[in-house]
Each structure stands twice: as C-alpha cells, then as structure tokens.
Amino acid sequence: MPSTNASLTAVFEDMARLTEVLGGNGFKVNAFVKAARVVEALERDAASFSRSELVALPGVGTGTADRILEFVESGAVADHEDLKERVPAGVVALMGISGIGPKSAARFWHEAEVESIDDLKAAIDDGRLAALKGFGQKKIDGIAKSLAFAERFGDRHRRGVAAALAGAVAEAVAGVEGVRRVEAAGSLRRGAETIGDVDVLAAVPGPGPSAEDPTPAPDPGVTAAVFDAVEKLDGVEEVLVRGDTKLSVRFGAGLQADVRAVPAACFGAALAYFTGSKEHNVALRERAGKRGMSLSEYALTDKRGGAVVASATEAEIHGALGLAFVPPELREDRGEVQRAEAAHDAGEPLPRLVETADLKAELHAHTTASDGVMSIDELVEAALARGFHSVAVTDHSRSQVQANGLSAGRLEKHIEAVRDAAKRWKKQISVLAGSEVDILADGTMDYPDDLLAELDVVVASPHAALAQEPEAATRRLLRAIENPHVTVMGHLTGRLVLKREGLSPDMPAIVKAAADRGVALEINASPYRLDLRDRHAALALEAGVRLAINTDAHGPDNFLNAVHGVATARRAGAQARDVVNTFGREELAAWIRSTKR
C-alpha cells in the first residue's frame, strides 16, 4: 500500500477514536472509521486522486476529500491536530483494554485524572476508580484482569495456535448429542494472519426465524450441553460470559474462545454474521436497509411485516442482497461488496480463489543436510503423501551457520545425492535439486553464479540484516531479483508475525522488477512468517507477478501449513493460475526453465 494511504488511514482512525472519547456524534465517528477503510483499500496512492474522484468514492464526502487533499498538501490534517491537543495521548490507549469503551475512558480521564495505562493501574490501587459512581468491585476486578491479561499476552495471536485451539473446541462441540453442525468463524475463517478471539458456531435444534419470532432461541438443553463440554476442555482457565446463546472462555495459553449456539435454520445468517469482519457486516446491513430489508445474525428479513427472506445459507443471503457469493477471506470491506454486486449483475460468480487442494508441488523444503528432520527420501515421501508431482530440496546456504548451511563443497555432494534420488523416484515425482540461498546484506548471493547454475530451483531469501533501512533493503532485493539463476524470492521481508517487523522495501518497485524478470514471489506458509503478507501479495498480482505458496517444511507435518499460505493468497484474491505450485508437472518444469537467463 502506498505510504500516503497508510498514513491517512491512521489519521482517520485516530480522529474516530478521539471524537469518540470526546463524546462527539457517533455517526461522525463511524464516518471517520469508514473513511479510514476506504483510504486503506485504495489501489492507487491517495495523492493521485482529484477532489471529484475522491468525492465519487462511496463513504467519502466533501469533508473527507478536503482532509485528504490537505494531508497530501501539508502532511497533516488541522482538525486532527486540534483533536490531539484536546486529549492526552494516553487516553485513547485506555480503550484498548477489554471492558473499557469511550464512555469509561472519558470518565476515568475527567473524574479520576487517569491519562495513561500506568495512571489506570495506580487509580485501581489507590481506590480512585472505586470512588466513581457506577463502578462497583466487579467492574474494577474485570478491568484489572483485562490489564494483566493484555500485559501477559498482548491481544493478538498467530493463526497457527488459534487454528489448533478452534479445532479442539469444534471437536468437543461436535461430540455433543443434538449438534447439527459446527464451524469456526471470525478472523480465523477470514484467513487473517493474527487472531484476536476464536469464534466457534454451533447449529443446534430450535425453531426457524419467522415474522412472529425473529430471534428464535436455540434448544436450551443442547446449548447447555455444548457450553458444558467447552468449559470442561483442557486449558480452560476462566469462564468470562455464559448466557443463553453465548459462552466465552479464556484459555491458559492466552486465547479467548467465543462459542455461540443458534437454531440450525439460522446457521447461514449466523455464520455470515460471526465471520465478519465488522466493517463488512455493516456494509451488508446498510445494503439490506437500502433494499427494504434488515439483516441480523438470525435472518435477512423484509422490513415491512418481517417475513424471512433468507437465513439457512450464506449464499442465499448474498444472493438476496443482489451479490455474488463473497468468499470469507475477502470480507474486509475493501471493495468486495462492489465487486460482488458487479459480478451478480453480470450473472457470474466472483473468480474462484486458489484452494489447498490445487497445490501440486513444494518448492521450498529442508532435509537433515541443513536444519530439517527429514532425509531426502522422507521429504519425497511426505510430498507424495500430499499428492504432489514435484518437490524441490532446498537446504540452507553456507552463511546460515546456525542452521548447518551447506558449504559449496557440501552443496556439490548434496546435489549429487538429490539427482540420485530423482532417478529413483522419477516415475512418481520430480525431485528437483535446489537451495535456499541467502541474500547477503548487499544483495549478492551466498554462492557464486557457476554453482547456482547447477541447481534446478534457487529460492533466494534474506535471513540477516533484517533491520536494514528501506532504501538499502530495496537495493538488496532488487539485486537478488536480477540474479539470472533465481527462481523464487523466499520470505521477502523476513518478518516474523507479532515478533519482528523485517524489511520494508519499496514494494511497488520490487513487484515491478519481479514482473519484468519473471521470477515468483513466495508466500511462506509458516504461521510464524506468512511472508509475503496479503497486501503485498495483492500488489504482486496486480503487477502480474506469479506467487509461490511454499511451506518451508523442516518436518513432514509442516506440509499442513500450506492452508495458512493459501488463506493469505485468497485474501489477496489469488486464483489457481496465479500460483506456480498449482501448475502441472510439465508446465511447472517449463515455467522454471523460463526463469533462467
């Protein structure tokens, strides 16, 4: 995303929060949030838009347009600066604590002199909070718990741990007598790289929605059994909420799971609702309203009379709203509703996104030669078990000493061993000799060109000097892309999810160079990496760059991580033909040859 857009997104988000804490008009707050979403989703730099082009964007009026122009001109928005002067910097942060919203944050600030998280802790300890009307011991205990929790774990989690937990919860729920269907929803289903809470939805017996009973209750007996089963799961530390339809539990590992029970006839509406995102849901409800309907987690209904229009499946609801079915990974209110409308009007579905089952090759995997746990044959067998027609053996290069990277001499011998295995496995699978070659800080490769020329597949990856300035990082990566032997650029930024920011190169320049050169950019599917991230993958696709979804497998189970890489690719809108791992055996071989200069 162009940097102007990122900065403007932050400005509008901050204006929303500041307006909220100052008790301003809630609809104005929503308008700022919406403006942030619109700017975030722009495909061009906001600076390149004229005023009339801006006003034509849905959600952007003259006020937002003028603020965008002001920011492009001067680098700041006067109204935003004014708001910031009126609110201490730490007050907005209070709203980041679960249980504290704008009203409470404002009261803490005005009535208890709380202007930061540290102030809040002190105010809890010295009784200033308890002196406020409406804040009993339970509320204060809840806030103290949330504070301690946020400090211990932060509020986001890698999707790998969230997926595992969701699986355990879903399994427990599915085992309850009377449960018709179970599905993980929320940001996990949308394929997001980090997850706040795990949402699991259970369909249980109960009446369908109707004009007389628009919010039918799920069977209380089955619902109670579902909630009991989840509360009994290993690792449940605390029950936060338990009502007639909703259970929230907190696990010791720091994750929270929300379980909802709905009558089976409402499952589609509920699944759409709990999958979100919030912004996407709001967009759908607004759309429903404009068409004389109302959308809730129970049903899409006619406003007059309340007749049920659709409720059982998501596809029916989207269709009744005049939309093609929107895959969960696209539901971020980044233009998908408009695209689904256009597709629906043309009588077509949205393009089919890449699926895990489409993957037929792995181009980045390690063996015991460097830091993997599989022999060459074990790696080949793991690939065969996935139904793959090709696998590249890509152990670390010599600079990766801690990972037992191969010296030039060891690589020569390793290539021989791979070629030998390739002959033995030839009838079943193509075994390719490769290497994950370090891109050194100056952009040179960790092996000389004549050695690289002996390899079928070169995955070029940065591993060190990951705090480099953007200019240096850009030069470094461009130089690697220009190397005539490189096939795939591996985990391009070197970021680690929730842990390390990694390189911040000029992505438009990188994707243009990759397009010109014909190399693929990897989506590293490890939930620790997910690098490229979704936005960058979308930029690559726009530039016509092929993606490679690789698991970077160090052990056989790592192949299962492909699903996370696919989720990221789907968020970017990737179709199967955009991903080289979906190519047929001969097609892939031909593509690899085409990358050689």
The distance of closest approach from Cβ of residue 313 to DNA in the complex, given in angstroms and rounded to an integer, is: 19
Q: Tokens for 550, please give them.
A: 């690789």
Is residue 100 a contact point for DNA (CB under 7 A)? yes
Tell me: does residue 92 bind DNA (CB under 7 A).
no
**Listed residue (149, 173, 174) closest to 237, CA to CA:** 149
With contacts defined by CB under 7 A, name the span among 290-298, 327-335, 336-344, 529-537 that binds DNA: 290-298
Asked whether position 35 contacts DNA by CB under 7 A, the answer is: yes
Query: What distance in Å separates the CA atoms of residue 274 and residue 465, rounded to the nearest whole number?
Result: 41
Asked if residue 242 binds DNA (CB under 7 A), the reply is yes
For DNA, how many residues bind (rule: CB under 7 A)?
Answer: 67
Residue with tokens 């605390």: 238
Q: How far is the CB of 235 from DNA (least distance, A)?
A: 19
90 binds DNA (CB under 7 A): no
CA 321 – CA 291 distance, rounded (Å): 8
Residue 172 vs 188, nearer CB to DNA: 188
Alpha-carbon distance 45 to 39, whole Å? 9
DSSP tag of 543 = T
List the structure tokens of 172: 């427990």
Is 194 a binding residue for DNA by CB under 7 A? The answer is no
What strand order describes the sheet that includes 236-242? 181-184, 197-204, 256-263, 246-251, 236-242
Of 528, 530, 521, 518, nearest to 548 by C-alpha is 521
The alpha carbon of 36 is separated from its chain's Cα centroid by a whole number of angstroms, namely 18
Query: Of the candidates 281, 493, 561, 581, which one interacts with DNA according to CB under 7 A?
Result: 281
CB of 346 vs DNA, minimal distance in Å:
19
Which string of x and - marks every residue 50-89 that binds DNA (by CB under 7 A)?
A: -----x-xxxxxxxxx-------------x----------
Residues contacting 362, CB < 8 A, separation 6+ = 383, 386, 388, 390, 391, 392, 550, 551, 553, 559, 581
Q: According to the binding rule CB under 7 A, does residue 338 interact with DNA?
A: no
Contact set for DNA, span 101-130 (CB under 7 A): 101-105
Cβ contact 359:549 at 8 Å: yes
E strand spans, 468-591: 488-489, 520-524, 547-550
Helices (H), 233-362: 267-275, 278-290, 314-320, 336-345
Instruction: Say whether residue 278 binds DNA (CB under 7 A).
Output: yes
> Cβ closer to DNA: 61 or 349?
61
Question: Per-residue string for binding with DNA, 38-57, x by CB under 7 A?
Answer: -----------------x-x
Q: 64, 77, 69, 67: which is closest to 49 by C-alpha?
A: 69
Residue ranges in 134-173 that form contacts with DNA under rule CB under 7 A: 134-140, 142
Tell me which of 51, 246, 426, 597 binds DNA, using CB under 7 A.
Answer: 246
Which region, judged by CB under 7 A, interacts with DNA, from 158-166, 284-292, 325-333, 458-466?
Answer: 284-292
Residue 55 beta carbon to DNA: minimum distance, rounded to whole angstroms? 7
The binding site for DNA (CB under 7 A) comprises 25, 27-28, 30-32, 34-35, 55, 57-65, 79, 95, 97-105, 133-140, 142, 186, 196-197, 199, 214-215, 241-246, 258, 274, 276, 278, 281-282, 285-286, 288-290, 292, 294-298
